[in-house]
Amino acid sequence: MSSKPLCIGHRGFRRLFPENTLLSFTQARNAGCDIIETDVQLSKDEVVVICHDSKTGRVFSDDLNIYESTLEQLQTIRTNKEPHESMPTFKQLIAWFLKPENSKLKIMLDVKRSNNLKILDIILSDLLSFNPDREFWVPKIQFGLWDLNFYSYAIQNDLLKGFEIINISFSPKVSLKLLELSDKQDDGLKIKGVSLLHLSTWDNNLFSKNLKNDSFMKNFLIEQCDKKKLDLYFWTVNAKQDLICAINFPYVKGVITDNPDHLKELLDNYTDITIINTKDSKDSEESGESGKSGDSENEYLNLKLSQLQRLYPSNFSNLGIKRFIFYKWYNLTELCYLNNWMGLRLSKKLTVGVIFISVFKIFNIF
């Protein structure tokens, strides 16, 4: 993998432009993004559209349920944010993507778990309607899948063979369920990467001074990213302090952000931390941290973690009480995912998952 992480525009250039619109994608490209991350939903008449939420009220002028609305209805609404853009279809996105000026980009699709499984079939059909050569699309489109249902469906129907399949996850513990299934597949259907909520990497044991393999996150990095060469992505990383941490994290392939201009500025001045001679080189020598090459176990990982210790010596204490409280909430969310409680219905319209998603939106994590 490249030593410089990739700049990935979250829903395009979300900070300044209406999210998930062709304008937002164009401005993300102009800001220097390598990949455009976007969300797909399926309308009532089975047209794939570009929208994060299943209901449109947060972003658009009218609150429609996408699954109960036709394309004609969906294309009458405009974004609340100026310049009041329309909701693109996936086919419109592909037409935009195929313009010569976008030839260096990739698209990362976030396939929402609330969708009908057949959305995968329709996405592939839409791609092939532009170019019937499947191999043309393989290096250009990344499929982000959240759970076993979509991944199992893709395997059973041989839909995504050769494509870069990425598991999007709140937690590496949840990802392991998909990775166990991935290990049993041929190379063409294996999961190639995991896109983690950045907060989930802040394992209290990860930055302990005596770097031992007793940190879940460290074990995940060793067993998955190092030994199995799994790519690591982070979402959604916006604050400068978090961006610096993310791009210096071990094995990171790309960072998803609402602020691609800020990330690009940091990346333009990025130097691979493994070749920096620091004033703490004595500490590195004592712990056997000499760089990515060498024969001591996990030298590269230990070096990167020791450098992050220097960047963030007090771990959570310098992130503020709001972040600390949210992290505790995250731990509870992870527990609910691991025990399949997210779908537990508390009332006719309220599930455990709805409560957690609402809190994540309040904190602008999505």
What's the pLDDT tens digit per position in 101-115? Answer: 999 999 999 999 899
- Measured between alpha carbons, how far is 127 from 134 in angstroms, rounded to an integer? 8
Res 169 pLDDT > 80: yes
Q: What is the pLDDT of residue 247?
A: 94
- 37 DSSP β-pair partners: 10, 108
Q: What is the pLDDT of residue 323?
A: 64
At residue 206, the pLDDT reads: 77
Q: Are 185 and 154 in contact (CB under 8 A)?
A: no
Residue with tokens 């998803």: 256
Q: Which amino acid is at 165?
A: I
- Distance between CA atoms of residues 336 and 339, nearest Å: 5
Global pTM value: 0.89
Residues 272 and 300: beta-carbon distance below 8 Å? no
Cβ neighbors of 150 (< 8 A, separation 6 or more) are 111, 113, 117, 120
- Tell me how far apart the alpha carbons of residues 302 and 348 are, in angstroms, rounded to a whole number: 49
Lowest mean pLDDT among 51-60, 267-276, 282-291, 356-365: 282-291
Count of alpha carbons within 13 Å of 5, Cβ hemisphere only?
30
What is the enclosing helix (H) or strand (E) of 257? strand 252-257
Share of the chain above pLDDT 70, in %: 86
Residue 165 CB contacts under 8 Å (≥ 6 apart), including other chains = 142, 143, 145, 151, 154, 189, 190, 191, 192, 193
User: How many residues does the structure list for the chain?
Assistant: 366
Structure tokens belonging to residue 149: 């249902």
Mean pLDDT of the chain: 87
Q: Report which of 4, 2, 13 is spatially closest to residue 248, judged by C-alpha positions.
A: 4
Residues facing residue 39 across a β-bridge: 110
Are 120 and 111 in contact by the 8 Å Cβ rule? The answer is yes
Cis bond upstream, residue 83 (ω within 30): yes
Distance of alpha carbon 94 from alpha carbon 333, whole angstroms: 35
User: Residue 130: is its pLDDT beyond 50?
Assistant: yes
The pair of three-digit structure tokens given for residue 296, joined into one six-digit string: 């001591």
Strands (E), 90-172: 106-111, 141-145, 164-169
- Find the angle CA(198)-CA(204)-CA(208) to the nearest 5 degrees: 120
**Between 147 and 37, the higher pLDDT residue:** 37
Q: How many CB atoms lie within 10 A of CB 40?
A: 25
Distance CA 102, CA 358 (A): 35
- Reading the block at residue 100, the tokens are 């010569």
- pLDDT higher than 70, residue 289: no
Residue with tokens 């999210």: 19
pLDDT tens track for 23-54: 999 999 999 999 999 999 999 999 999 999 99
Closest CA to 76 of 48, 56, 96: 56
